[in-house]
C-alpha cells in the first residue's frame, strides 16, 4: 500500500507540532511568573565558599575529581549575562585538582595538569597542560607554570624521611617546560624559597633548601644543588651547574657551561670549569639600574681586590672607608667567606 505523499511527511530538523506546543506553554508560564526577560548570571557570589567545591568554573560542568575554589557558584548551564563577574577559577575538565588545594581568583588550570592537596596558588596564576604542583607548595600571584614542569616535588635527598616541608614562591615568576623545584628538607630548614619576577628557562632545576632572590634569569639547563643561595638579579648562561652550599652574590653573571664550586662575589662575571672571577659585570650593573657613581666605585674596588698586588685582607681594610652601598655590600660578602 503506497505511503503518504512526500509533502505530508515531517521534514528532518523541523519540530513536531506537539514539541512546539510544549515550548509555547513553557514560554507562557515563564511570562506569567515574570521570568521571561530575567537575566541569569553565569557566576554568582556565595556566602558559604565551602558549598562551591566540586565544580570547574567557566566550563559549566563539574571539574574532574573534585576541583575546589572559593566564593563562586555556577548558575544555570548555558545562561548568559553581559554583566557577569569575572571567572574565579577555570579548571579544564581533564585536570585533577585535589579538594584540599586552595586556588585564588582568575587561576587557570590546563588539561591533564595535577594540583595536589595542601597547595596554595595565588590570584592570576596559570598552570598549563601536564604541569604538576605538588603538596606543600605555596605559590604567590601571577606565576605561570608551563607544561611538564614539577613545582614542589619531594627533595632528592637520602636523609629525607617524608617529613612535611614546603616550597615558597613569590609573584610574577615564569617557569618554562620541564623546570623542577623541590621542597626543603627537615635537616635543612624545611623550606625552599624562590623570590619574585624570575625567569626559569627550560630544564632548570632548583634543589631542596635553595634560596633564590628576585628577578633572576636562569638559562636552559641551569642546575642549582641543595642549599645554594642566589642573590637578586643573578643571571646564568646555559648548562651552568652550581655545587651544594655555594653562595652567588647579587647581580653576578655565571657564564654558560660553568661548573661553580666556590662562592661567587656580587657584581662579577664568573666563568669556567671550577669557575673563577673574570671581570666586573658592567653590563649587568647598568641594566639593573646601578647608578654611574656606584659603577665607578665598584670598578675601583674590583681592581683593588682582584687585579692589584695587595693582599686581599689589606685591600678590604682600605675599602672599609668607602661609603658607597654597593662597595660595602661587596666588602661584607668577601669578609664573610672565611667564616663558612
For the annotated catalytic residues, the residue numbers are 208-209, 226
Contact 114, 99 (CB under 8 A): no
Contact 191, 208 (CB under 8 A): no
* Cβ neighbours for 244, distance < 8 A, ≥ 6 positions apart: 207, 225, 226, 227, 228
Q: Largest Cα–Cα distance of the chain, in whole Å?
A: 117
Q: Round to whole Å and give the CA distance between 127 and 111.
A: 9
Q: Round to whole Å and give the CA distance between 319 and 298.
A: 10
Q: Round to whole Å and give the CA distance between 332 and 131.
A: 41
Q: Round to whole Å and give the CA distance between 215 and 197.
A: 5
Angle at 206 between CA 200 and CA 210, to 5 degrees: 120
Candidates 114, 123, 154, 109; CA nearest to 136 is: 154
DSSP per-residue string spanning 2-70: ----GGGSPPTTPPPHHHHHHHHHHHHHHHHTT-TT----SEE--S-GGGGTT-BTTTTBPPTT----S
The pairing of strands 276-280 and 268-271 is: antiparallel
Q: Give me the residue label for grid cell 558549598.
A: 51
Give the phi and the psi of residue 15 in degrees, each rounded to 5.
-80, 145
Question: Which residue(s) pair with 166 in the sheet?
Answer: 191
* Cβ neighbours for 314, distance < 8 A, ≥ 6 positions apart: none
Amino acid at each position: 500500500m503506497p505511503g503518504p505523499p512526500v509533502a505530508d511527511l515531517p521534514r528532518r530538523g523541523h519540530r513536531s507540532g506537539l514539541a512546539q506546543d510544549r515550548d509555547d506553554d513553557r514560554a507562557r508560564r515563564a511570562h506569567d511568573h515574570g521570568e521571561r526577560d530575567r537575566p541569569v548570571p553565569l557566576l554568582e557570589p556565595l556566602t558559604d565558599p565551602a558549598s562551591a567545591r566540586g565544580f570547574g568554573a567557566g566550563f559549566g560542568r563539574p571539574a574532574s575529581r573534585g576541583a575546589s575554589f572559593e566564593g563562586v557558584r555556577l548558575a544555570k548551564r548555558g545562561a548568559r549575562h553581559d554583566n557577569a563577574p569575572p571567572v574565579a577559577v577555570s579548571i579544564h575538565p581533564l585536570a585533577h585538582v585535589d579538594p584540599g588545594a586552595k586556588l585564588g581568583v582568575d587561576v587557570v588550570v590546563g588539561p591533564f595538569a595535577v594540583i595536589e592537596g595542601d597547595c596554595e596558588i595565588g590570584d592570576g596564576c596559570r598552570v598549563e597542560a601536564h604541569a604538576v604542583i605538588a603538596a606543600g607548595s605555596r605559590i604567590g600571584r601571577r606565576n605561570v607554570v608551563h607544561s611538564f614542569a614539577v613545582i614542589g616535588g619531594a627533595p632528592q635527598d637520602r636523609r629525607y624521611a617524608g617529613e612535611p616541608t614546603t616550597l615558597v614562591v613569590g609573584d610574577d615568576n615564569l617557569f618554562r617546560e620541564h623546570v623542577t623545584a623541590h621542597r626543603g628538607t627537615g635537616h635543612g630548614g624545611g623550606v625552599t624559597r624562590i623570590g619574585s619576577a624570575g625567569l626559569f628557562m627550560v630544564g632548570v632545576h632548583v634543589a631542596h633548601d635553595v634560596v633564590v632572590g628576585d628577578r633572576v634569569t636562569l638559562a636552559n639547563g641551569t642546575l642549582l644543588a641543595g642549599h645554594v643561595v642566589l642573590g637578586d638579579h643573578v643571571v646564568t648562561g646555559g648548562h651552568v651547574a652550581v655545587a651544594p652550599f655555594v653562595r652567588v652574590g647579587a647581580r653576578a653573571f655565571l657564564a654558560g657551561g660553568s661548573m661553580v664550586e666556590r662562592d661567587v662575589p656580587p657584581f662579577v662575571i664568573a666563568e669556567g670549569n671550577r669557575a673563577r672571577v673574570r671581570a666586573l659585570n658592567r653590563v649587568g650593573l647598568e641594566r639593573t639600574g646601578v647608578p654611574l657613581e656606584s659603577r665607578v666605585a665598584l670598578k675601583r674596588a674590583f681592581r683593588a681586590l682582584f687585579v692589584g698586588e695587595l693582599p686581599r685582607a689589606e685591600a678590604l681594610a682600605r675599602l672599609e672607608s668607602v661609603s658607597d652601598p654597593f662597595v660595602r655590600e661587596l666588602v661584607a660578602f668577601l669578609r664573610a667567606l672565611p667564616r663558612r
